[in-house]
Amino acid sequence: MFDPSMPPMESPVIFGEVLFDSFPEGSDVLGGAPFNVAWNLRMLGGDPLFVGAVGVDALGDRVRAAMMAAGLDTRGLQVVADAPTGRVQVTFEAGEPRYDILPDQAYDRVDPAALETAVAGAVPLLYHGSLALRAEPSRSACDWLARHTRRRFVDVNLRAPWYEPGAVVEGIRGADYVKLNQDELRELAPGADDAARVAGLLQNAGIREAVILTAGAEGAAIHTAAGGRFEQPAPTVENLQDPVGAGDAFASVVILGVLNGWDWPVTLERALGFAARVCTLQGATTTDGDFYTAARRSWGI
C-alpha cells in the first residue's frame, strides 16, 4: 500500500472527534473531521497518532477495527463507559441534509490524565478542530497536548449550536496555522473585506505562521504572518460524487506540506488537487489504497 521510498516524516498528533453520520434508513458512516485527517495521513504514508474516545458499544468496536485495518496506531483511542461513540443524526428537509450534532458523546470525554502514557515526548505537530473543544474534559486534554507540541494546526469548524465566536478566537490564539472557510472568517473577524479580516485575525489571535482560507470550488489562499499571499483556483472535478470530506482532505495535505518542508505554492496545489480527488468518492475516505497511491504518484513521491 505504501511506497517505501517515501522519505520518513514526523508523526503528528490528530486530536478530536471520531463519529458516525447516522442516516434515516439506518446506515452509519464513519467520519469526523479529525478522524478523516488521520485516515488520509496514514493512507498517504504517514504515521499519525489519533487521540480521541469511543464508547463501550458496537460503533466503538467498528472504529477500532477500522483503525487496525488501516494500520492506524490505537494507543490514543480511549474507551469511556459513560458516553456513547459519537453520532451525528442526519435528516433531510426538501432534499437537503440537516445535521444534528448530538450532545455528551464519547469524544467529549477524552481524559487528559491518560495522555502522558499515550503521547511520548514532544509532539512535532498537533492538529485539532473547534468542535472537540465544546466540553470538558476534552478541552483540557487538547490544552495538555498544545503545551507539549512544537506546532499547532487549528481547523475551524463552526457547528451550531456548539460554539461562541469569542471562545473560538481564544481557541486559535497562538496557533501556528489556522484553516477556515470564508463564512467562518466573516463570523469570527470584522473587516471591510476578506483581506482585512485575515490581517486582523493574524494580528489579534497572534497566529504565528499562516491563515489558510478556503473558498470551495473557487480554490484557496494562504496568508502568512510575514505578509505573503499565495492563491490558487480549485481544479475542475470530473466525475463529481459529493464534496463530503474535501476540506479534511485539503487539511491533510497541508499538514504533509508542513511536515515535509514543501513551499506554500506546492502545498496549495497538491492540497487542492487531493481535495478534488476526494470529491470523486462517495464520502470522505476510502479503503482503496490505490486511490492514495495515485495521489502521491502525481506528486512525484
pLDDT for 92 beyond 80: no
Tell me the mean pLDDT in the region 128-155. 96
Quote the CA–CA distance of 92 and 175 in Å, as a whole number.
36
Tell me the backbone φ, ψ of residue 29, rounded to 5 degrees: -110, 125
Of 172, 257, 256, 182, which is closest to residue 216 (Cα–Cα)? 182
Q: Provide the pairing of β-strand 210-214 with 177-181.
A: parallel
DSSP secondary-structure letter at 173? T
Tell me the mean pLDDT in the region 266-281. 95
* Residue 239, Cβ density class (10 Å: 0-12 exposed, 13-18 middle, ≥19 buried): exposed
Indicate the pLDDT class of residue 52, thresholds 50, 70 and 90.
very high
Comparison of pLDDT for 27 and 94, the residue scoring more = 27
The per-residue pLDDT for 26 is 83
Tell me the mean pLDDT in the region 71-88. 96
The per-residue pLDDT for 241 is 80
Tell me the mean pLDDT in the region 85-105. 83
User: HEC string of 123-141?
Assistant: ECCEEEECHHHCCCCHHHH
The per-residue pLDDT for 194 is 95
pLDDT for 40 beyond 90: yes
Quote the CA–CA distance of 224 and 233 in Å, as a whole number.
18
Across the chain, mean pLDDT equals 92
Peptide bond into 165 cis (omega under 30): no
Indicate the pLDDT class of residue 9, thresholds 50, 70 and 90.
low
The per-residue pLDDT for 98 is 75
Tell me the mean pLDDT in the region 54-73. 96
Tell me the mean pLDDT in the region 144-150. 97
pLDDT for 1 beyond 80: no
Tell me the mean pLDDT in the region 170-192. 96
Architecture (CATH level 2) of domain 13-299: 3-Layer(aba) Sandwich (3.40)
Percent of the chain scored above 90 by pLDDT? 80
Peptide bond into 235 cis (omega under 30): no
Tell me the mean pLDDT in the region 206-232. 96
Instruction: Give yes or no for a contact between 172 and 205, defined as CB atoms under 8 angstroms apart.
Output: yes
Tell me the mean pLDDT in the region 236-245. 84
Tens digits of per-residue pLDDT, 103-127?
Answer: 999 999 999 999 999 998 889 999 9
The per-residue pLDDT for 222 is 98
Indicate the pLDDT class of residue 21, thresholds 50, 70 and 90.
confident
Quote the CA–CA distance of 194 and 221 in Å, as a whole number.
11
The per-residue pLDDT for 300 is 85
Tell me the mean pLDDT in the region 198-221. 96
pLDDT for 4 beyond 60: no
CA angle 92, 95, 101 (to 5 degrees): 30
Indicate the pLDDT class of residue 97, thresholds 50, 70 and 90.
low
Enumerate residues 6+ apart whose C-beta is below 8 A from 89. Answer: 22, 99, 100, 102
